[in-house]
């Protein structure tokens, strides 16, 4: 790629766009200060953005001793993205505007993971979502789909263990039914991106999102970008071995982090402990809330192992932010103390100086919003001719 004036112009326009996007309202003068561009340049590029309906004029600012400036606002309803979270026992869809605000939402239970069947539900959901997109200049700008599994970079699902889907060309499937852009991502990566974009407004360039559900996966944001790895299988840290010859993991190997720190691990141990069948995370939380000592200890154990695996990530990544997300956060109050304890006692202290650990504030919306955020970002990155 080489440079020419068109590329330069696009770049500057993008800068201005990003700045307007990042603020609620801005004046042209603020843009001039921020970007270092000259008055005329900013004026020209803003005019184009106004014509493209990506930006709106919105009242005037207070005077600072002279002419009041025209305020600009990002046109957050210029277009809408669809997001779908393919869960093991639920299907979650949203319509969001360009700021990631939910305009329409549908959450439905799923009773069969049989693929053909499930995909019919997905198509019906897409249809519903489309019908709920408001009239706007750009209408549907695309669809993001998150899948709990390993996705090749070309959108083929290599393996979604809990759905029992394998080697399914999801990209090809969607291409046959949709004529707008779409992107298929891994569930942990979607969660990570939601954390990066929605929770932290793109202000933290490097962060980790630890998705603890039935399985355990990690989404890695490095330098403002999801790190995918060579094939797209990054973040399979659930299969990091923390105990040689340890507990058997679903993957067939022994001692994986996931075998000690996931919902699956929790329920397996609880079944053994309580000699009770059909246990669920919700049921166990209920027991814990009623002060069941064994269950409380079990959560503490799971928490400790979660924290222990996190220390391994901390030593490797020296991150400034880790977000814990997905279903296990429902038990936050029962696992948080032991997670903290495990990290405090197993991490070299200086690693903690720059680190903060959060529980995702987006709760069950993390994944679906992240899936949509990929699409929003792509739209905002290059809607230019």
Judged by CB under 8 A, the stretch of 103-111, 234-242, 270-278, 369-377 that binds its own copies is 234-242
Site for its own copies in 88-127 (CB under 8 A): none
Answer for which of 43, 134, 172, 229 binds its own copies (CB under 8 A) is 229
- Side by side, the strands of the sheet bearing 182-186 are 102-109, 90-97, 79-86, 139-147, 182-186
Distance CA 359, CA 333 (A): 11
CB hemisphere CA count around 357 (13 angstroms): 23
Q: Kindly state the smallest distance separating residue 251's Cβ from its own copies, in Å.
A: 7
Residue with tokens 């360039």: 205
CB within 8 Å of 12: residues ≥ 6 apart: 35, 37, 41, 45
Q: Kindly state the smallest distance separating residue 88's Cβ from its own copies, in Å.
A: 20
Tokens of 253: 């190997």
382 binds its own copies (CB under 8 A): no
Residue 162 near residue 250 (C-beta atoms within 8 A): no
Distance CA 348, CA 298 (A): 26
313 binds its own copies (CB under 8 A): yes
Instruction: Tell me phi and psi for residue 221, to 5 degrees.
Output: -105, 120
Q: What is the DSSP letter of 197?
A: I
Q: Which is nearer to DNA, 5 or 176 (CB)?
A: 5
List the single partner that 382 binds among its own copies, DNA, none, CB under 5 to 8 Å by kind: none
269 binds its own copies (CB under 8 A): no
At 24, is the secondary structure helix, strand, or coil?
A: coil
CA 184 and chain centroid, separation: 12
Q: Which is nearer to DNA, 14 or 106 (CB)?
A: 14
245 binds DNA (CB under 7 A): no
CB within 8 Å of 272: residues ≥ 6 apart: none
Judged by CB under 7 A, the stretch of 59-67, 99-107, 271-279, 339-347 that binds DNA is 59-67
Residue 130 near residue 82 (C-beta atoms within 8 A): yes
List the single partner that 223 binds among DNA, its own copies, none, CB under 5 to 8 Å by kind: its own copies
Answer for which of 199, 236, 364, 377 binds its own copies (CB under 8 A) is 236
Binding mask 63-92 toward DNA (x if CB under 7 A, else -) reads xxxxxxxx----------------------
Q: Kindly state the smallest distance separating residue 134's Cβ from DNA, in Å.
A: 29
Binding mask 365-384 toward DNA (x if CB under 7 A, else -) reads --------------------
Instruction: Tell me phi and psi for residue 116, to 5 degrees.
Output: -55, -45
Count the neighbouring beta carbons within 10 Å of the beta carbon of residue 82: 29
Distance CA 104, CA 109 (A): 17
Q: What is the DSSP letter of 87?
A: -
53 binds DNA (CB under 7 A): no
27 binds DNA (CB under 7 A): yes
Site for its own copies in 20-39 (CB under 8 A): 35-37
CB hemisphere CA count around 138 (13 angstroms): 25
Binding mask 159-188 toward its own copies (x if CB under 8 A, else -) reads x-----------------------------
Site for its own copies in 332-361 (CB under 8 A): 346, 348, 350-351, 353-355
Residues in the chain: 385
Q: Which is nearer to DNA, 48 or 320 (CB)?
A: 48
Positions that interact with its own copies (CB under 8 A) = 1-5, 7-9, 11-12, 15, 35-37, 150, 158-159, 206, 218, 220, 222-223, 225, 227-244, 246, 251, 253, 308, 311-313, 315-320, 346, 348, 350-351, 353-355
């Amino acid at each position: 790629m080489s440079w020419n004036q068109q590329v330069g112009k696009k770049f500057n326009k993008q800068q201005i766009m990003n700045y307007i996007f990042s603020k609620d309202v801005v004046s042209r003068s603020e843009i001039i200060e921020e970007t270092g561009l000259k008055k005329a340049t900013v004026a020209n590029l803003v005019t184009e953005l106004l014509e493209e309906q990506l930006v709106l004029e919105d009242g005037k600012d207070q005077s600072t001793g002279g002419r009041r400036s025209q305020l600009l606002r990002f046109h957050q309803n210029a277009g809408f993205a669809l997001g779908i979270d393919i869960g093991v026992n639920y299907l979650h869809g949203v319509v969001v505007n360009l700021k990631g605000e939910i305009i329409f939402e549908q959450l439905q239970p799923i009773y069969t993971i049989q693929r053909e069947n499930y995909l019919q539900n997905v198509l019906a959901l897409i249809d519903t979502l489309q019908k709920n997109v408001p009239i706007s200049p750009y209408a549907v700008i695309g669809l993001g789909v998150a899948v709990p599994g390993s996705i090749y970079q070309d959108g083929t699902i290599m393996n979604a263990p809990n759905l029992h889907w394998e080697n399914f060309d999801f990209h090809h499937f969607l291409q046959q039914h949709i004529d707008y852009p779409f992107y298929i991502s891994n569930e942990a990566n979607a969660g990570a991106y939601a954390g990066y974009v929605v929770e932290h407004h793109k202000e933290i360039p490097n962060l980790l999102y630890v998705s603890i559900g039935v399985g355990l996966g990690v989404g890695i944001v490095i330098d403002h970008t999801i790190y995918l790895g060579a094939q797209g299988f990054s973040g399979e840290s659930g299969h990091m071995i923390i105990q040689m010859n340890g507990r058997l993991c679903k993957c067939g190997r022994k001692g994986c982090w996931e075998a000690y720190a996931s919902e699956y691990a929790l329920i397996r141990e609880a079944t053994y402990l309580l000699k009770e069948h059909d246990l669920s995370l919700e049921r166990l939380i209920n027991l814990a809330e009623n002060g069941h000592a064994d269950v409380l200890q079990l959560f503490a154990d799971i928490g400790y192992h979660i924290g222990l695996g996190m220390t391994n990530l901390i030593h490797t990544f020296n991150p400034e932010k880790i977000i814990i997300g997905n279903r296990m956060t429902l038990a936050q109050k029962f696992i948080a103390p032991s997670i903290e304890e495990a990290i405090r006692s197993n991490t070299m202290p200086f690693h903690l100086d720059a680190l903060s650990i959060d529980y995702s504030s987006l709760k069950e919306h993390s994944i679906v919003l992240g899936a949509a955020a990929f699409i929003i970002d792509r739209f905002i990155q290059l809607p230019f001719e």
